[in-house]
Homo-oligomer: A and B are copies of this chain.
Amino acid sequence: STCKLMDLPKITDIRGNLTFIEQNIHIPFKIKRVYFLYDIPGGESRGGHAHKNLEQFIIAASGSFDVILDDGVKTKRHHLNRCYHGLYVPKMVWRELNNFSSGSVCLVLASEPFEEEDYIRSYSEFKKITNKPLLKQVI
């Protein structure tokens, strides 16, 4: 699987808009956990880790922020600022989130429960694992 910015269904209505995500249809995994970041001071940064197995889907539920992805070969920045766009991040991708707007909410759907052992928190360790010949680029 590769990182992918995805358009989500949007049902427009004068009473407000609705976007929905069904597991295994709009995202390529089953949702086992949902988490969200909020009360984030404007301009703040988060992240700086990779996951050995976890897949995620990141949405700017309110406001905007940037997601910087790094597969060990190249990096790419995505600016998320719409509820109906989501960023799929497969396993073994280093991610950082920054440039949060004041009042923003980052919603994340995750394929696994929380497991500390699944985290790679050292960038040098991440580079060591990914810096192999014939590595498939995912971003």
Contacts and interface: CB of A to CB of B under 8 A. Distances in A.
Interface in A33-70: 33-41, 44-46, 61-62
Interface stretch (A73-81, A102-110, A116-124, A127-135): A102-110
Contact of A35 (B14, B18, B45): B18
Contacts of A39: 16-17, 83
A100 interface: yes
Given A33-B22, A36-B83, A45 B107 contact: no
Interface in A9-35: 14-23, 25, 31-35
B20 A37 contact: no
**Number of this chain's copies in the complex:** 2
A73 to B, nearest CB: 28
Nearest to A46: B15
A18 B35 CA distance: 7
Contacts of A21: 33-35
A97 to B, nearest CB: 10
A22 B114 CA distance: 8
